[in-house]
Structure 1
Amino acid sequence: MRQRAHIAPALVLALSLLSGCKGCKDEGADSGALSPDGAAQTPRSGVKVPLPDGWSAQVAPDDSFQAGPPGRPVLRVDLRRGQGEQLPTVDALAERVREESKNFEVSLDQEESKDTYSLLRVTMAPKLADGGIGLQAPALFGARRVGNDLFLCATLPGASPEDVRLATEACREIEVQSSQSK
């Protein structure tokens, strides 16, 4: 049960990294409807997040897009309309993770960046009050620019290494469909 005690701090970390601008009203994905090809789409925005086989999507009460195996969301995506130019570099993303995770031991496992995305896979373990380190857990923090919009991705606590790998692929491939291809 020791791992459960550290789920809340990990979730707070993920949400703080995704928060971007403090006090802003976020515009999230509008719907978690699946297209015939199994990708989650948001009808009003035309956003397409390619999901692995067996994953489903939903819009959470806070308007974030969440996806994962049935009954277990592992990927959270937040949309920042008009903030595409604020795509962080992978170095800036890594620095933010370190700053926001003072209560965690963080090891950078993989950094990947291109003109349209920055992805950071890490292993995190909570620092315990007795000076020890808690259970390690993998995580993804990423950002993807599509047109003028910025999509912020993070895995949720409890994601397995395979979940993190699949979430990374989904974040990397987020796209906005033109009105002609809908």
Structure 2
Amino acid sequence: MTKVKICGIRREEEAEWAVEAGADAVGFVFADSKRRIDVETAAKISALLPAHVLKIGVFVNESKENLTEIYKTVNLDYVQLHGDESVTFCQGLDLPFIKAISIKEKEDINGSLHYPGEMILLDSGKGPHRGGNGTTFNWDYAEALTHPHHLILAGGLNPENVREAIKKVRPYMVDVSSGVEIAGKKDRLKIESFISEVKSV
């Protein structure tokens, strides 16, 4: 069964909604974003989460020192790297990580194959930010992909399209942020609807 990550969590009640609805992971954004959370607040929310829910921090071009410090302070399970981090940088990181790859063209998929790590995240390359733009990429690019990693699919997913996305890409996990929001804030019913759709595929 496909796993679900609810990303861009900023408040305790949002984390509670995600957990109660059956989320497998939550994401805290520490990069420049309208969903950015401070380390202290993230640590408080993290401490409330059950052990089986993965805690993933989202970063863009962060130093190894800061990654390590925030990883420990918030008690993260993974750091998600959304910037220009090289294969060499990732190889030298003593932390569990997920490399995010922006997909604009089909060839962009090939770049994801070279990264080490257990999981890779495919996100849309369209929009002003490194992620969380609410735009999809062409899922056909990933449909025939034979990948050595667990694949996380992100980019423009919502309760209406996630079923089709899963059937095409067959990812290990789907990652949603703006697709479960109303007016820029997480919505409980949308979170429940999204997770229900995923778990029923």
**Which is strand-richer, 1 or 2?**
1
The TM-score, its normalising length taken from structure 2, stands at 0.27
The TM-score, its normalising length taken from structure 1, stands at 0.29
**Which is helix-richer, 1 or 2?**
2
